[in-house]
Amino acid sequence: MPFYSYQLPNGLQLIGESSPAARSVAVGFFVRTGSRDEQPQESGVSHFLEHMVFKGTEKRTAWDVNRDFDRIGANYNAYTSEENTVYYANVLPEYLPPAVDILTDILRPSLRPEDFDMEKKVILEEIEMYEDQPGSVAWDRSRRLYYGSHPLGNSVLGTLESITALTREQMQAYFQRRYAANNILVAIAGRFEWEPFVELIASACSGWNRDTVGRDHRTEWRGQPGLHVLTRPKVQQEYVMFMCGGPPSTSRMRYAADVTAIALGDYSGSRLYWALVDPGYADSADCTYVENDGTGTVYVSISCEPEDTAANVERTLEVLRDVQKNAITPAELQQAKNKCLSRVVRGNERPIGRMQAIAAAWTYTGEYRDVDTELAHFDAVTLGDVREYLDAYPIDQDTVVVFGPLPEVRGVSGQPA
């Protein structure tokens, strides 16, 4: 499928992958900013700003924005992570021009004081609802403990205190600082014509902020091994997170790390599944490799009854130690690779999936990877690659966080209680 790239004079980067056989087109604006780019006094501003983008512009009210998207039958949304804020729409090809018009318009929001004050209440309610979800709270607290001073430990939502204190002027300053043209990637995939698309974007975005924006603290992080017990008496289950370092998004080891994580903790047919879930020791057990800008992390998470926690922590550590020492078997390698290959193919069959995939690759590496190239990278992973990855990033040197009703966890070998 043809791939295109073009950069406007103001630094805005455009990429696209055309599929004439597709029946839809997806376009997204990927702003390279998230919670890791925030100062402590503005914690949560990236996510708050994402909400405000849909609250209106100089020529559209919030009602107009939703009406105009609905009129063209768009599937549209936005999300904020530690590293990116993304706005996208998936439409029929004939409605690409109005979709671009709406997206480019809302990306220069008015940030009206009355809208800011109203949406602040929504964000505060969202934080309070989040605090009632123990699995999500366990994840957030664990990441803070693991990352320590590294900005990847920053909360995406922020806190009740930081959002309450945040002013519209702080948000405006953050917008001016981070939403510069050179810090935004526009990606499109599906059925479209490249030259008219470039003209659409150039017409709407050529006047955007030309400041040069980057990212600080792009350093690798390994965390400190140890056991942390966070007690919340009203939680019914115990949630346990094991976190260790992994290769960054630019490393060729990322494929071996991903394959190993699947072999370790896929929801079925993995080491942790057979060791914990199938025998009934734990309700869930999974392993995930996450690639970030400058660093990577491997997360193992389990949930179980409180009385089974110590034994399950030990069982998990035994699995991790065995894989660290002996790696995985040829059969496990092939099964994990097959799952990765299937995931890549299924995730890229629709334009919206391809748009996300090419944008992710370009955002982190500045490269275009077609589906066949990505499949070839996974298929080429060998046991030697797995061994090399494990030697570079040991998976048994973990920060372990236990979140739930237990006041302490004893009897875990190799970990301070």
Per-residue pLDDT of 289-301, as tens digits, reads: 999 999 999 999 9
C-beta separation of 26 from 197 below 8 A = no
Cβ pair 46, 35 in contact under 8 A:
yes
pTM, two decimals, is: 0.94
Q: Whole-angstrom Cα distance, residue 317 to residue 136?
A: 23
- Residue 161 one-letter amino acid: E
Could you tell me the domains of the chain?
Answer: 3-205 (3.30.830.10), 226-404 (3.30.830.10)
Question: What letter would DSSP give residue 93?
Answer: G
Pairing verdict, β 13-18 and 85-91: unpaired
Find the mean pLDDT for residues 1-24: 96
Whether residue 336 is predicted with pLDDT greater than 50 in this model: the reply is yes
pLDDT grade for 410, boundaries at 50, 70 and 90: confident
Confidence of residue 413 (pLDDT cuts 50, 70, 90): low
Copy the structure tokens of residue 51: 């909400």
pLDDT tens profile 236-261: 999 999 999 999 999 999 999 999 99
Contacts of 31 (CB under 8 A, 6+ apart): 84, 85, 86, 87, 178, 179, 183, 184
The H or E element containing residue 391 is helix 383-392
**Sign of the dihedral through C-alpha 373, 378, 380, 381:** positive
Q: Which two tokens stand for residue 361?
A: 């690759």
| Mean pLDDT, rounded, for 145-161 | 95
- Taking alpha carbons only, the member of 222, 377, 254, 402 closest to residue 314 is 402
DSSP-derived secondary structure for 338-389: HHHHHHHHHHTSSHHHHHHHHHHHHHHHS----HHHHHHHHHT--HHHHHHH
Average pLDDT, the chain: 95
Residues forming a β-bridge with 286:
301
Q: How confident is the model at residue 381 (pLDDT cuts 50, 70, 90)?
A: very high
Report the candidate in 405, 416, 81 with the shortest Cα–Cα distance to residue 225: 416
DSSP state of 274: I
Q: What is the model's pLDDT at position 47? A: 98
Question: Under a CB-based contact definition with an 8 Å cutoff, are residues 257 and 395 in contact?
Answer: no
User: What tens digit of pLDDT does each residue of 83-100 get?
Assistant: 999 999 999 999 999 999
* Side-chain-facing half-sphere of 397: CA atoms under 13 Å: 12
Place of tokens 């150039």: 202
Residue 417 has pLDDT above 70, yes or no: no
Q: Are 333 and 262 in contact (CB under 8 A)?
A: no
Is residue 415 pLDDT above 60, yes or no?
A: no
Q: DSSP state, 19?
A: -
pLDDT given for residue 139 in this prediction? 94
Question: 66 pLDDT exceeds 60?
Answer: yes
pLDDT at 416: 42
What is the mean predicted confidence (pLDDT) over 305-326? 97
Q: Which of 198-207, 353-362, 401-410 has the lowest mean pLDDT?
A: 401-410
The encoded tokens of residue 41 equal 């006094």
Asked whether residue 344 carries a pLDDT value surpassing 50, the answer given is yes
* pLDDT > 90? residue 190: yes
Tokens of residue 193, six digits: 């014509």
- If DSSP codes are grouped into helix, strand and coil, which group holds residue 78? strand
pLDDT of residue 411: 66
Percentage above 90 pLDDT, the chain = 93
